[in-house]
Every structure is written in structure tokens, then in C-alpha cells.
Structure 1
Amino acid sequence: MKVLQVINNLDTGGAEKLLLETIPLYNKKGIEVDLLLLNGKMTPFLETLKGINCCKIYAVGTSVYNPFHVFRMIPFLQKYDIAHVHLFPSQYWIVLAKMLSFSKIKIVVTEHSTTNPRIANYLLSIIDRFIYQFYAKIICITIDVYQIIIKHLKQQKSKCVVIQNGVQLQKIYDAQPYTKKMVSSLFTEQDILLVHIASFNKHKDQKTAIKALKYLPENVKIVFVGDGPLKIDCENFAKELKLMDRIVFLGNRTDVPRLLKTVDISILSTNGEGFSLVAIESMAAGISFIGSDVPGMINVKDAGILFEKGNAEELAFYIRKLIDEKDFYESMVKSGKRRAEQFDIEFMVDKHILLYKTILE
């Protein structure tokens, strides 16, 4: 079996990280899996995957919205049994390439988010329904995503399947912490260190996390991991609030397990999630997790803490509660560890392989 994973680029989002971590596993299990990128720009994830040297990596251009990618994809469709596609617009281009080439390749798509902006647009909704007719299966990463997709696409339920994302738990268990001073000279070992791991885009809400510092003691500081178009805006916001002496923007990193083992609390302020890998990674690392109460955070309920979206004061309240109440903190850590054990990435990969085999029968 030969499978081609297709995605816009290998930047530092959740879908991209999953490909970085799963492609080597597929190949170890005897499934030949390669990667096709619309934009082949070098990123930390792409550099890491190339260093592993476990698959072929192709790139068709730079701008992900270039419609000529459709024609550039066609030659690849003749070489693989299945194309597994992630994110828009890759989801559209692969279908058009299949139509124009009359290829018999089976195509599968994973829906990674509960926030699809095309849902609110009548014309784009119609186009979505047409495009998705060509997919053999639609993989939804949570039941929340499944329910939204069923309603939006009006597809037969049998075409959609829920396969939850997974995490390399052993990698996190084995990670060694840094000292806080090693992360930044701004920090001392006595500081309470928070971490926020997410791309700086419209789907996330780093500003609420920044604002929460105003309601917390001076020794509470935060590390932001990630990059994106809204990063400079968030840096300016932190400067306006005179909080830059308590905030470090680290950019994209590939040592997230070590960072999680170093900090005290992990937070994710967001406008919407499909499935929060960061939440599971944080719980596996043995620290408490606090996230926005939005669709897609179902994997956090009763194992981490959820606060009202955009409510900086409530976020600060829970951070202070974790700092002040050791028993509460430890209870959250224990609940989180138990929850994380359910999301070993091996389970997810095995389910995907079984699905591939079913599609080709």
C-alpha cells in the first residue's frame, strides 16, 4: 500500500505536527507513506522530517492558493493508492486534480477544526458539498467535528468516521526539563512559569493570556511558543500593557516536550479547536492545563480546567488557584495523566491503517 499525505506546508500547527510524528510510524508498520506540500518552504518541522529520512518529500510551489497546483498534483496521483489530505485549500486542489486526471486513486480527508469559515457562506457551503462527494472517507478528529461536518455537508453518516488524534506519549515521558534560566534570562527558578503553545492566527487568542498577567503576581511569567501573522500585534499589545519584562516570545520550537517539563502550568487561549494536542501533551508532561471553553476541548473536560473564552480575569483566577492550592494542582495533574494515557499516537495510526485497508478492499 502506498499513501501520499497532502498538506499546505509543514508549519507548526496541529495537523502539521501530526504528520511529522506519524509518517515515520506508518513506514515502520510497513505502509509506504510520502508527503506532498503545496508550499515547500523550510520550517523546523520540515527540517526535522528531512533529517529522519523516512519518506519522499515533494513540493509543488510556494503560494498555497495557486490553482495551477491542481495540474502539478496530477502526476503524483498515478503513483499512490490513497491520498490523505489535510486543510484548505489542499482539500480542493486534490479533488480537482483527481477529476481532471480521471485517476482511480482513493482520497481521504481529515477535518481538523470545528471552525470552518466556509460554513457561514452559502455559496462556499454548496461548493464544499460538491467537493466532498469525491472523498471516500471524511475523518473527524472529535465527535464535535463529526457533528458539525454531518450538518454542514449533508453527507451520509457512513462516509464520516471519528478517529481522535494521538500524541507521542513516550517522547514526552522521556523528555528532560531545562532550568528556567535556560529558557530565558528573564526567568529565575522561583518564578511561576506559564506556557502558551499555538500559532499566532485568528483562531487563537494570545491576547487574553497576555491580559491575564495583569491580574497575577509579578513572579508569574509566560512563554509563548509559535509564530504567525498576529505575533507582532501580540508583542505590541504586551508592550502597551507594560508586560514585556514578564513575557518571552520563543517562536517556533521543536523541543516542546522539554519546555512542558520545565514550566508550571500550560494554557491555551483560543477561539476554537478541533482537537487540542497541546492539552494532551501538557497533561502527559505532568503539569496542569487550562484552556478556553470552546468546541473541540472535549478531551480536556474533567481532566483539565476550562475558562470562559476571552475572559482574562477568570483565566487569572484559575492560575492563582493552581498556584495557591497544592492539593488542587496535584488533583489536576493526576486527572490529566490518566486522560493523556488514552491518546497514544500508536492507537491513531493503527486506526488509520485499518481505514486505508477497508477503503482499498
Structure 2
Amino acid sequence: MKVAYMIGALERGGTETLLLDTIRQATPEGLDCILIYRKGGAMLSEFIQTGIVIEHLPIQHRIDILYVFRLRRMLLSHRVQIIHAQTPFDAFLAYWAVIGTQISLVLSFHGYDFGWSWFAHRMLKFIVKRTDVNIYVSNHLRNYYVVAYSLSCFDKQKVIYNGINFEKLDVSHSNTFREELGISPPELLMGCIGNFVAVRDQLTICRFLDKLQKSTIDFRFVFVGSRNSSNSLYDDCVKFCRENGLLNRVYFVGSRHDVPRILKNLDAFVYASNHDSFGIAVVEAMAAGVPVFVNDWPVMQEITEGGGAYLYRTKDSDDLLEKIVPFCQNKLSYLDKAKKNASLVKNKYSIHHHVCQVIHLYKSIV
């Protein structure tokens, strides 16, 4: 089966990582994959290393009508049977390219349409009803789009959870990250992983940390994630911590490529979401056997079910404090429970399970 994956840019992110892991897993499963992208990025070299055919098809100027014809010619030359778009805009371009062919169109939804322009909403309203299948990364995300865009053909709206390559979490335990920060193993180290973007709410965690330092509990906390120039969240968090005397306990280490090693060094993982559509970092933390504290945003309730995570009321730093204090007083029992639940999480959200579901879906529409 020949499948063309279509994506805008190859910058490092959750969508791109999922696509890379999918291709790595799908090729041994007998799927013949090619990748079509419009813009490069930090992950291009990793996609090249998979050995699949990669085509760079940029939009040459703002109104590039000939793009559709170049895309159509490319798909036909590769004898593609399915084109799987990773964004609505890619699906919109692909729709016009496959008219009159036998090529099926699949669109994955990785996030919400919050903050989109009028044109983007109109484009989405057009394309969401014209694909062969839409894939959503959670039930909550599917239900949102079904209601928001009045999708009557429910059979075309499929939920396939994100898949994670858990082999990358199998790193030997090392205290080098604690040593890097000057934190000894007995000290309580908690952390949050995720870039400072609009979908996250690290400021609520900062407010919780201010309350925690006023108790008798000693702790250290690390924020892993890059600053985003489109909002002030990172700067607001640093300012809050500075004004409240937290910078001797709280570390902002930026973007890191050793997240599995960092997870192994944490005693607890704390997360706050505004409107995540899945929560890869939360699942990775549960799979690493780390106690997880996350707000009760509906998607987080969905993905942590049966995974042993502890939910607190969204944006309620006092409720988070109430959930954390018992953990601090009885850390070993929490760690033991988290390790027992890790295997259940790995089975439910493995990349192998994800790819098997995707291939089954492809076979149903070809």
C-alpha cells in the first residue's frame, strides 16, 4: 500500500515526532511511505534517515495555483493510493490535487481551531466534510469538531490515540541531570516538560510553587521547554518566580534533547493545560513510572484514565497544593503505584498499537 504523508514544515514538535515514529514503525509493517513537505526544519535529517522517498514541494509564492498541479503529478508518478494530510491546509491542497483520481484523502486533527483566522475557519469548514476519513487524537477532540462543524457522517470521524515510541524512555538511571543542577538524590525534585505556548499554563504551577515554599516542605522544580516569542508566558513565569523568591528553587532549563533522562530523575511530574488535545508529555511521564499531577481538562481526564495520575481543578493552585502535600509526605508509596501503572500506559499508547490501527483504517478505505 502506497501512502504519501503530507506536512507543512519539519520543525520539532509533537505532530512531527508522531509522524516520524509512525513512518519508522510502518515501514517494517509493509507500508510503502513517502513524505511530501513544504518547508524544512530541524527534523528533516531524521526523516531522511528513515530511508523513505522524500519530496520537497514548496509553495513558491502567496497565490501559487500551479502547486496543485505539481502535487497531482507527483502523487500519480509515485502511484500513491492514500494521501494522509497532517493539517487542514495540507488536506485542502490535496483535495484539489486528487480530484478525478482513485487516491483517498485522510486528515489528522492534532489540535483545536482556537485563534484561527476567518479564512482558516472557512477552509476547515470546506475540507472537513470532503475527506474520506478524519482522524482525531482523542474523543474530546472529535466531539468538539463534530459539534463545531455539524459533522453528520459520524462513521468518517475516527479516534486513534497518539502513539509513542517508549523505547526511548528505556535509558539507564543516571543522576547526571541532578548533578547538573546541584541537587542530591534525596532532595525532592519535581518538573514540568513542555514549551511555553498558549496551550499550556505554567503560571498556575508557579503560583502553586509559591504556596509550597511557604510550607515546611523542601523541594526543587524544573521547567523544561523553550520560550515562545508569540506570547509572554515564559517571561511572566520567570518574573513571578523572581518576585516571589523562587529562583533558588526553580530552574528554567529551556529546550532539551534528553527528556527521558530528565524524567528518570524526577520524583513527580506536574502539568497544567489550557486546551491540550492529547498530552504526549503526560503520557511519557506516566510510562516512565513517575507520579503525575495534571489538571482536570477533559482530555487529561481521558488519557490518564487507568494510568494512576492525580487530577486537580484547572487553574486552582490551592487544589494542586492539596494533592501534592500527601505525596511529599509519602513519596515511596506514590512511586511504587506509578511504576505498577507504567506497563498499562505503554500498552495503551504504544507506537506499534497506533500504527496497527492506522493501517487497519487505510485498508478499510482503499
TM-score bracket for this pair, using the shorter chain length = 0.7 to 0.9
Q: CA deviation at 1:341?
A: 2.6
Residue 254 (structure 1) aligned with residue 260 (structure 2): no
Q: Cα deviations across residues 34-84 of structure 1 (Å, max 9, x unaligned)?
A: 22223212x2x444333x333233334499x95539446444332222111
Matched to 1:92, the amino acid is F
- SS class of match (2:358): helix
In structure 2, which of residues 311, 314, 338 is the aligned counterpart of residue 306 of structure 1? 311
The change in CA–CA distance for 1:268 and 1:240 in structure 2 (over 3 A counts) is closer
- Counterpart in the other structure of 1:198: 194
CA distance in 2, matches of 1:348, 1:5: 16
- Counterpart in the other structure of 1:131: 127
Q: CA deviation at 1:17?
A: 1.6
Matched to 1:256, the amino acid is V
Residue 322 (structure 1) aligned with residue 327 (structure 2): yes
- Counterpart in the other structure of 2:109: 111
Instruction: State which drifts further: 280-289 or 74-83.
Output: 74-83
Matched to 2:315, the amino acid is G
Contact in 2 for aligned 1:292/1:308 (Cα 8 Å):
yes
In structure 1, which of residues 294, 299, 302 is the aligned counterpart of residue 297 of structure 2? 294
- Counterpart in the other structure of 1:53: 50
Q: CA deviation at 1:306?
A: 1.6
Contact in 1 for aligned 2:133/2:156 (Cα 8 Å):
yes
- Counterpart in the other structure of 1:25: 25
The change in CA–CA distance for 1:277 and 1:233 in structure 2 (over 3 A counts) is closer
Number of aligned pairs? 351
CA distance in 2, matches of 1:351, 1:333: 27
The change in CA–CA distance for 1:296 and 1:236 in structure 2 (over 3 A counts) is closer
The change in CA–CA distance for 1:311 and 1:285 in structure 2 (over 3 A counts) is same
CA distance in 2, matches of 1:123, 1:232: 26
Larger Rg over CA atoms: 2
TM-score by length of 1: 0.85
Matched to 1:77, the amino acid is L
Matched to 1:193, the amino acid is L
Matched to 1:9, the amino acid is A
- Counterpart in the other structure of 2:281: 278
Contact in 2 for aligned 1:196/1:268 (Cα 8 Å):
yes
CA distance in 2, matches of 1:309, 1:203: 13
Matched to 1:311, the amino acid is D
Report matched runs for 1:1-361 at 5 Å: 1-41=1-41, 43=42, 45-50=43-48, 52-61=49-58, 66=62, 68=64, 70-71=67-68, 73-78=71-76, 79=78, 80-98=80-98, 102-113=100-111, 115-117=112-114, 127-153=123-149, 154-172=151-169, 174-181=170-177, 184-217=180-213, 218-226=218-226, 228-229=228-229, 233-242=233-242, 243-297=246-300, 298-302=302-306, 303-326=308-331, 327-360=333-366
- SS class of match (1:117): coil
Contact in 1 for aligned 2:11/2:40 (Cα 8 Å):
no
The change in CA–CA distance for 1:67 and 1:176 in structure 2 (over 3 A counts) is farther
The change in CA–CA distance for 1:350 and 1:248 in structure 2 (over 3 A counts) is same
User: Gaps (5+ residues) in structure 1?
Assistant: none
The change in CA–CA distance for 1:183 and 1:55 in structure 2 (over 3 A counts) is farther
